């Protein structure tokens, strides 16, 4: 069936149905995330994937504005099959679309956060969940504002090399290292039910969030880590943010602030899969910077993380 479909399917980004796997040649056609249909019509949509090509808040190397495009291209390899190990096909059971990128004026940086909050607010108002492809990590704060407006204070599941809780009480600053300090201080995130995974840079003040650092993952193992995360976040609404630099630079060199000693791809995959059951309102994948990775491996990792978040989002919403 797949071979027959591959002979006829093309440009599913525009012509594809709302559900079902896609067998268009990975190397051809218009590129959308997982070959999902591009649309601005969210009627009946379960999950909207949107790109946020913003990288003007970085402390080191830029380039993550090109992340959404690279993740979309890499994701075409995952459109043929249900995600391994989940036992179900999210694209058969749910309507997932590519909502395109956030439009914004790159020369008016101060206007960007509100534009992003409004963009995500519109997705959530339709009843769909949101999955954002970044972009630098500062995008998580405006996104969390929209989610907290709709769902109340959230538990944060945060994969990263950095805690991103450095003190910053100036809400007009846009910085990819302080947004979770602001998220806690403004009540968007409940630190007591939030957890950070893979941390390996020094910042003593975690604002009460639990830290399961990279060494903990290596020594305790992904299975233990996932169960601990589920214990901490409980049954309430949570938001998952995955900074690609949570992975060791050996697995994800294309990022702005690489730190050695990080998670291997298999560890991240196992943790994400074992998180099945947490109730996500949405998530993001950030800090994929294609210019620093000629192999494309970082974008491939980002696309796989995106697929796991799709599967996680659908898991608690399955009619079965």
Residue-wise pLDDT tens digits, 31-85: 999 999 999 999 999 999 999 999 999 999 999 999 999 999 999 999 999 999 9
Confidence of residue 17 (pLDDT cuts 50, 70, 90): confident
- The pLDDT score that the predictor gives to residue 3 is 58
- The answer to whether 162 is annotated as binding is yes
pLDDT tier at 87 (50, 70, 90 boundaries)?
very high
Tell me: the pLDDT tens digits for 271-294? Answer: 999 999 999 999 999 999 999 999
Domains located in the chain, CATH noted: 2-315 (3.40.800.10)
pLDDT range class, residue 320, cuts 50, 70, 90: low
Closest CA to 33 of 2, 73, 1: 73
| Residue 218 is labelled as binding a ligand | no
Closest listed residue to residue 180, CA positions, set 111, 241, 235, 119: 241
Distance (Å, rounded) from C-alpha 226 to C-alpha 223? 5
Q: Is 176 annotated as a binding residue?
A: no
Q: Which of 81, 111, 115, 79 is nearest to 98 (CA)?
A: 79
Q: Average pLDDT of 240-249?
A: 98
- Is residue 12 over pLDDT 90? yes
Does 92 show up as a binding residue in the annotation? no
Among 128, 134, 125, 146, residue whose Cα is nearest residue 101: 134
Quote the CA–CA distance of 218 and 78 in Å, as a whole number: 27
| Residue 137 assigned to a binding site | yes
Three-state DSSP at 184 gives: helix
Asked whether the CA dihedral 181, 187, 189, 192 is positive or negative, the reply is: positive
Annotated ligand binding at 243? The verdict is yes
pLDDT confidence tier of residue 6, bands split at 50, 70 and 90: confident
Q: What are the strands, taking DSSP E only, across the chain?
A: 47-52, 96-101, 129-134, 155-159, 195-197, 210-212, 237-243, 279-286
Confidence of residue 152 (pLDDT cuts 50, 70, 90): very high
Tell me phi and psi for residue 300, to 5 degrees: -60, -45
DSSP state, residue 254:
-
Query: What's the CA gap between 121 and 128, in Å, rounded?
Result: 10
Residue 103 CA, chain-centre distance (Å), reads 19
Q: How confident is residue 205, by pLDDT bands cut at 50, 70 and 90?
A: confident
What's the pLDDT band for 171 if we cut at 50, 70, 90?
very high
């Amino acid at each position: 069936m797949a071979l027959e479909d591959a002979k006829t399917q093309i440009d599913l980004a525009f012509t594809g149905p709302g559900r079902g796997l896609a067998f268009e040649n990975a190397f051809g056609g218009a590129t959308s995330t997982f070959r999902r249909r591009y649309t601005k019509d969210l009627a009946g949509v379960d999950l909207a994937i949107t790109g946020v090509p913003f990288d003007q808040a970085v402390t080191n190397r830029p380039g993550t504005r090109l992340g959404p495009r690279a993740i979309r291209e890499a994701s075409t390899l995952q459109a043929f099959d249900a995600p391994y190990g989940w036992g179900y096909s999210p694209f058969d059971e749910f309507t997932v679309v590519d909502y395109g990128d956030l439009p914004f004026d790159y020369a008016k940086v101060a206007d960007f956060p509100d534009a992003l909050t409004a963009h995500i607010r519109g997705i959530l108002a339709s009843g769909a969940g949101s999955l954002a492809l970044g972009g630098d990590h500062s995008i998580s704060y405006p996104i969390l504002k929209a989610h907290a407006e709709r769902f109340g204070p959230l538990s944060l599941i945060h994969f990263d090399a950095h805690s991103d809780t450095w003190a910053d009480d100036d809400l007009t600053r846009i910085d990819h290292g302080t947004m979770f300090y602001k998220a806690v201080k403004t009540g968007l995130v409940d630190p007591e039910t939030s957890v950070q995974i893979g941390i390996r840079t020094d910042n003593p003040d975690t604002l009460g969030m639990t830290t399961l650092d990279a060494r903990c993952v290596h020594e305790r193992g992904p299975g233990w880590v996932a169960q601990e995360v589920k214990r901490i976040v409980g049954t309430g609404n949570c938001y998952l943010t995955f900074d690609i630099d949570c992975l060791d630079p050996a697995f994800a060199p294309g990022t702005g602030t690489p730190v050695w000693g990080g998670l291997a791809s298999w560890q991240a995959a196992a943790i994400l899969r074992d998180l099945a059951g947490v109730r996500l309102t949405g998530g993001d994948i950030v800090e994929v910077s294609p210019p620093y990775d000629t192999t494309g491996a970082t974008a491939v990792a980002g696309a796989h993380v995106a697929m796991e978040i799709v599967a996680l989002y659908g898991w608690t919403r399955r009619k079965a």
